[in-house]
Amino acid sequence: MNNPLLRKLANFTQLSDEESNVVNESTQDVREFAAREDVISQGDRTGGVKLLLQGFACRYKVLEDGRRQIVAYFVPGDLCDLRVFILKRMDHSIGAVVTSKVATISPENILKMTHNYPTLTRALWWSTLVEEAIAREWIVNVGQRNALERMAHLFCELLYRFRAVGLNQGNSCTLPLTQVELAETLGLSSVHVNRTLQELRRQKLITLEGGTLTIQELDALKELSFFNPDYLHLDYSDARPRGDEREGN
């Protein structure tokens, strides 16, 4: 299973070989994007659904005066909103953080998947609901947590998400972000990001160098940041389909 989307969906349910094949076939249209290149730009007409296969990408919005806020990260296996093509124009941009491979899934293929495969459909909807839940948690993050908690929380989340697609190495994962980008994510200045990083290092909670994050004390980091992974809805046993509603969509 080298398709990271399949790897991720496996956190929610078990897919049949046929379903896995459909996913693989639908994600053949692949393009490589350079670091800092936009995958989609604000104002673009919305096309197919994008799937990050390799690399690291982000969603961001820019205010008229240039302030930029990163509102989401994509790790391999993440889809952008399943239904974007319903809207006419993008109200934000998606950019590759490092060199990345992105597949474009056509609306037709989305329909093919969701028409014929109820289990797969449930799994895809699960992934979009998780994405929304992450967005809400980010609002909590910038709204209620202070700089140290915020950064700790982000690091916990990213480790969990890399784990979910098997791209962690123990408590380490790739994190190819500059301090400016971290600042734009957390709603802080880059100077304060630096201070905060130093504090996390001083407390021997993490190391971050050469684009690799290592969480030395995961439990302490979770406690410090009030990190509760429920919002990622990753617990397999807790996410099994309930009832027996038939799903044609």
- Minimum CB separation of residue 72 from DNA in Å reads 20
Nearer to a copy of itself, 202 or 242 (CB): 242
Residues that bind a copy of itself (CB under 8 A): 59, 61, 63-65, 67-69, 71-72, 81, 83-89, 91-92, 107-108, 111, 114-115, 121-122, 125-126, 128-129, 131-133, 135-140, 142-145, 184, 186-187, 226, 228, 230-231, 233, 238-243, 245-249
Q: Rounded to whole angstroms, how far apart are CA atoms 32 and 48?
A: 16
In the structure encoding, which two tokens stand for residue 20, read together? 């896995």
200 touches 206 (CB < 8 A): yes
Binder of DNA out of 42, 54, 172, 194 (CB under 7 A): 194
What does the DSSP assignment read for 112-150? HHHHH-HHHHHHHHHHHHHHHHHHHHHHHHHHH--HHHH
The Cβ of residue 89 has, within 10 Å, a number of other Cβ atoms equal to: 9
Binding mask 170-189 for DNA (x = CB under 7 A): --------xxx------xxx
Query: Out of 148, 167, 220, 239, which residue is the one contacting DNA (CB under 7 A)?
Result: 148
Nearer of residues 220 and 239 to a copy of itself, judged by Cβ: 239
Distance (Å, rounded) from C-alpha 82 to C-alpha 167? 23
